[in-house]
Amino acid sequence: MNRQEFEYWSRRYGLLFLVALSLVAFLLPLLLRLLHGGNTITPGPESYSYLRHADAISIPGHDLLHNTPLAPNPYVALLAIMQLFGVPWLLPVLLVLLLIVLLHQYLTGIIQSHTPIVLALITLVVAPSTSVLATHHTPTVLCLVFLLVALIIFGKHPVAGCMLILAAIITEPVLGFFAAGVYAVSLFISKQTNELVGVLLTAFAGVVWFIFWTGQLMVRGLLSPSFNPALFFEIGAQAGISIFLVLLAAYGMIVRPPKDQMLLLYAILLFVVTFFIPALLPATVIVLSIFAANGIYHLMTTQWELELLRSALLILVTCIGVFLIITSIRERIGEAPDSDFAHKMIVLRNQYHEGAVLTAPEYAPMVEYYSDRRAALDENTPASVVHDAFLNRSSAAVYPLLTGTETSYVLITADMRHTMFKRSDDGILFLLQNTERFVIVEQSNESTLWYFISTT
Q: Please tell me what DSSP assigns to residue 335.
A: P
Q: What is the pLDDT of residues 270-303, one digit of tens each?
A: 999 999 888 999 999 999 999 999 999 988 887 7
Same-domain check for residues 304 and 396: no
Which pLDDT band holds residue 66 (cuts at 50, 70, 90)?
A: confident
237, pLDDT greater than 90: no
SS3 at position 304: coil
Same-domain check for residues 406 and 370: yes
Same-domain check for residues 260 and 325: yes
Q: What is the pLDDT of residue 325?
A: 93
What is the phi-psi region of residue 235: left when phi exceeds 0, alpha when psi lies from -120 to 50, beta otherwise? alpha
Q: What is the pLDDT of residue 267?
A: 92
Q: Radius of gyration (Cα) for the chain, nearest Å?
A: 24
Which pLDDT band holds residue 309 (cuts at 50, 70, 90)?
A: confident
Q: What is the pLDDT of residue 456?
A: 64
Q: What is the 3-state secondary structure (H, E, C) of 384-415?
A: HHHHHHHCCCCHHHHHHHHHHCCEEEEEEEHH
Q: Which residues contact 55 (CB under 8 A, 6 or more apart)?
A: 80, 83, 369
60, pLDDT greater than 70: no
Domain-ending residue, one of 308, 333, 358 = 333
Helices (runs of H) and strands (runs of E) counted in the chain = 21, 6
Same-domain check for residues 284 and 156: yes
Instruction: Kindly report the CATH number assigned to the domain that includes residue 374.
Output: 3.40.50.12610
> How far lies 27's CA from each of 20, 195, 240, 335, in Å?
10, 40, 20, 15
The answer to whether 375 touches 386, Cβ cutoff 8 Å, is no
Q: What is the pLDDT of residue 307?
A: 77
Q: What is the pLDDT of residues 383-424, one digit of tens each?
A: 888 988 898 888 888 899 999 889 999 999 999 999 888 888
2, pLDDT greater than 80: no
What is the phi-psi region of residue 242: left when phi exceeds 0, alpha when psi lies from -120 to 50, beta otherwise? beta
Give the mean model confidence (pLDDT) for residues 349-359: 87
- Residue 444's φ and ψ, nearest 5 degrees, are -155, 180
Same-domain check for residues 376 and 391: yes
Which pLDDT band holds residue 34 (cuts at 50, 70, 90)?
A: confident
Give the mean model confidence (pLDDT) for residues 247-264: 88
248, pLDDT greater than 90: yes
Which pLDDT band holds residue 59 (cuts at 50, 70, 90)?
A: low
Q: Cα–Cα distance between 335 and 316 in angstroms, integer? A: 28
239, pLDDT greater than 90: no
Query: What's the distance, Cα to Cα, between the start and end of the chain in Å?
Result: 78
Same-domain check for residues 328 and 343: no
Same-domain check for residues 260 and 352: no
Same-domain check for residues 175 and 271: yes
Same-domain check for residues 307 and 345: no
Give the mean model confidence (pLDDT) for residues 225-235: 80
Q: What is the pLDDT of residue 40?
A: 79
Instruction: Indicate the Cα dihedral angle 51, 56, 57, 59, nearest 10°.
Output: -160
Mean pLDDT, the chain, integer: 89
Q: What is the pLDDT of residue 223?
A: 63
Domain-ending residue, one of 300, 333, 366 = 333
Share of the chain above pLDDT 70, in %: 96
Same-domain check for residues 120 and 183: yes
Same-domain check for residues 327 and 367: no
- Residue 407's φ and ψ, nearest 5 degrees, are -80, 130
Q: Which residues contact 287 (CB under 8 A, 6 or more apart)?
A: 267, 270, 271
- Residue 451's φ and ψ, nearest 5 degrees, are -105, 130
Per-residue DSSP letters for 216-263? S---HHHHS-------BGGGT-TTSB-HHHHHHHHHHHHHS--SSHHH
Q: What is the pLDDT of residues 79-134, one digit of tens each?
A: 999 999 989 999 999 999 999 999 999 999 888 889 999 999 999 999 999 999 99
Q: What is the pLDDT of residue 347?
A: 86
Domain-ending residue, one of 298, 333, 368 = 333
Give the mean model confidence (pLDDT) for residues 346-368: 89
Q: Which residues of 127-155 are buried (b: 16+ CB within 10 A; e: fewer)?
A: bbbbbbbbbbbbbbbbbbbbbbbbbbebe
* Residues in the chain, total: 456
Range of the structural domain that residue 213 is part of = 3-333
Q: Tell the burial category of 56 from Cβ atoms under 10 Å away from its Cβ (0-12, 13-18, 19+).
A: middle
Same-domain check for residues 299 and 353: no
Task: List residues bridging with 413 in a β-sheet.
Answer: 447
Q: What is the pLDDT of residue 359?
A: 94
The answer to whether 266 touches 97, Cβ cutoff 8 Å, is no
Beta strands per DSSP E along 271-391? 356-358
Count of domains in the chain?
A: 2
- Going by their DSSP bridges, the two strands 356-358 and 407-413 should be labelled as parallel
The answer to whether 277 touches 236, Cβ cutoff 8 Å, is no
The sheet with strand 407-413 has its strands ordered as 356-358, 407-413, 447-452, 438-443
